[in-house]
């Protein structure tokens, strides 16, 4: 039976009244048709108008008009009338304090920062790499840390471009480092995945004479990637054209050998890495031994055993522990992973609040964070900073480095406004007392008060 005929029949069934129609509307007919027509390609969120490298993807919160899990929108920032810290600030200033008196500077992951915000370690996807230099310049001038994700050097070259329109790895790093101010704020942290390790990326960076002066100043770190929000437990997934697939054939797994099979696009899969407590502990100790002047960051996907991993990292005294909720963005991820894999950010924040009382480590949280209110809420749960990714991509495309700069200015103002509203004048003073959950069930699960208490 032709697909068009099947759809016509099912459409007639859908128009029937009663429960049968309701049940039909919930059935994923379109999804099944797409799988029948496209096969393996339907596993990924691609279409003729939404090809890889031109989309900003992340976990869908809503499915069939039903909220599937609780989000940060279930949390409100609730100020008190009595504000003793405002009185203390007034005595210090000899005037009534304003929101502009809020100090947004902080330190996390071994870096000083002008804001409790870090640029997420976005990798080699063309949609970001093309504007990565704008983000690097603006974030450096703003004095906030920036990550460089996996596969950039492997795909786009270490110090020379392999494609004229795409910056290479070192361009991204040096654009950031050369635009840092002289106030000691900022820092770059660099991921190395399994495939990057084949090229000894961290060794090249650590011995690079152009980067060494910044390493000596404590402005460079290396980040172990233990997964990301959009696809915890999975490696990097992408589609590439044949010329690039042939170049990378010895380093990655492809759905077909590009040297012998001709196709328009090839699936490129990278390994997620294999870990046990012993393996991770050994990796951290080897890093500290081999790169003693570099900061050590660990990025964790929303795994169910993240508390055990955090405690190990705290014991090993890593500089920052980044946790990405399942809402986190990605260049490409299987549709089923975006829907059903990993813990949501709000669940992650509940664990961070508990862990921040038990461990001595700087937590960074990320996953669909957009504005200053999101940043403040994350800090109230005990994180030291918020990680943002897609907002930098959008603002860079909108207005280049100047657009990113203006975006960060709005984030700072929003953070200052909301922090002053709760009667505090340093972002490091924010805590769980400043937030309430909109439902008692969420409040009880997270260990905070509800708006009804």
Q: Are residues 362 and 213 in the same domain?
A: yes
Give the burial class of 18: count Cβ atoms within 10 A of its Cβ; 0-12 exposed, 13-18 middle, 19 or more buried: exposed
The CATH number for 196's domain is 3.20.20.70
Q: Are residues 195 and 101 in the same domain?
A: yes
Residue 250 lies in a domain: no
Q: Are residues 39 and 104 in the same domain?
A: no
pLDDT reported for residue 49: 35
pLDDT reported for residue 246: 87
Quote the pTM value.
Answer: 0.87
Residue 150 lies in a domain: yes
Extract the residue ranges of the chain whose pLDDT is less than 70.
1-57, 60-67, 331
Q: Are residues 1 and 98 in the same domain?
A: no
pLDDT reported for residue 307: 97
Which residues span the domain enclosing 39?
A: 1-43
pLDDT reported for residue 338: 84
How far apart, in whole angstroms, are the C-alpha atoms of residue 436 and residue 453? 9
Q: Is 114 helix (H, G, I), strand (E, B) or coil?
A: coil
Q: Are residues 120 and 30 in the same domain?
A: no
Q: Let me know: does 113 contact 145? Beta carbons within 8 Å.
A: yes
Sequence length of the chain is: 453
pLDDT reported for residue 20: 47
Q: Is 288 helix (H, G, I), strand (E, B) or coil?
A: helix
pLDDT reported for residue 238: 74
Q: Are residues 78 and 148 in the same domain?
A: yes
Q: Which of 10, 74, 52 lies closest to 435 in space, CA to CA?
A: 74
Give the residue ranges of DSSP H helices in 208-249.
212-216, 242-248
Q: Compute how many other C-beta atoms are within 10 angstroms of the C-beta atom of residue 197.
A: 13
Residue 238 lies in a domain: no
pLDDT reported for residue 75: 98
Q: How many domains in the chain? A: 2
How far apart, in whole angstroms, are the C-alpha atoms of residue 380 and residue 374? 10
Q: Are residues 76 and 39 in the same domain?
A: no
Residue 16 lies in a domain: yes
């Amino acid at each position: 039976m032709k697909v068009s005929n099947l759809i016509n029949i099912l459409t007639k069934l859908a128009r029937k009244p009663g429960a049968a129609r309701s049940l039909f509307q919930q059935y994923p007919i379109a999804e099944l048709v797409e799988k029948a027509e496209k096969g393996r390609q339907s596993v990924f969120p691609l279409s003729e108008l939404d090809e890889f490298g031109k989309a900003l993807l992340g976990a869908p919160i809503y499915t069939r008009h039903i909220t599937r899990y609780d989000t940060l929108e279930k949390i409100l920032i609730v100020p008190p009338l009595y504000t003793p810290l405002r009185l203390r600030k007034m005595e210090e200033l000899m005037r009534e304090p304003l929101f502009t008196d809020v100090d947004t500077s902080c330190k996390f992951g071994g870096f000083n920062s002008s804001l409790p915000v870090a640029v997420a370690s976005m990798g080699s996807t063309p949609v970001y790499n093309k504007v990565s230099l704008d983000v690097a310049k603006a974030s450096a001038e703003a004095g906030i840390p920036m990550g460089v994700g996996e596969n950039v050097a492997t795909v786009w070259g270490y110090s020379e471009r392999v494609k004229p329109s795409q910056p290479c790895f070192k361009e991204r790093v040096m654009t950031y480092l050369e635009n840092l101010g002289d106030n000691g704020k900022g820092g770059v942290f660099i991921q190395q995945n399994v495939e990057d390790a084949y090229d000894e990326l961290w060794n090249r960076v650590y011995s690079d004479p152009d980067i060494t002066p910044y390493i000596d100043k404590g402005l460079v770190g290396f980040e172990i990637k233990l997964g990301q929000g959009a696809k915890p437990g999975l490696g990097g997934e992408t589609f590439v054209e044949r010329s690039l697939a042939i170049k990378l054939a010895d380093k990655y797994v492809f759905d077909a050998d590009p040297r012998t099979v001709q196709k328009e696009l090839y699936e490129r899969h990278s390994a997620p890495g294999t870990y046990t407590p012993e393996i991770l502990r050994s990796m951290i100790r080897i890093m500290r031994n081999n790169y003693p002047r570099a900061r050590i960051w660990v990025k964790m996907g929303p795994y169910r055993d993240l508390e055990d991993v955090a405690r190990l990292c705290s014991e090993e005294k890593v500089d920052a522990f980044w946790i990405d909720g399942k809402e986190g963005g990605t260049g490409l991820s299987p549709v089923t992973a975006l829907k059903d894999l990993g813990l949501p950010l709000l669940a992650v924040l509940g664990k961070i609040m508990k862990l921040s009382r038990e461990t001595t480590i700087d937590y960074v949280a990320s996953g669909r964070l957009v504005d200053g209110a999101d940043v403040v809420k994350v800090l109230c749960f005990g994180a030291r900073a918020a990680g943002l990714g897609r907002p930098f991509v959008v603002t860079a495309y909108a207005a280049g480095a100047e657009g990113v700069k203006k975006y960060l200015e709005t984030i700072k103002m929003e953070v200052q406004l909301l922090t002053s509203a709760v009667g505090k004048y340093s972002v490091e003073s924010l805590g769980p007392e400043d937030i309430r959950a909109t439902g008692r069930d969420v409040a009880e699960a997270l260990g905070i008060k509800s708006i009804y208490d």
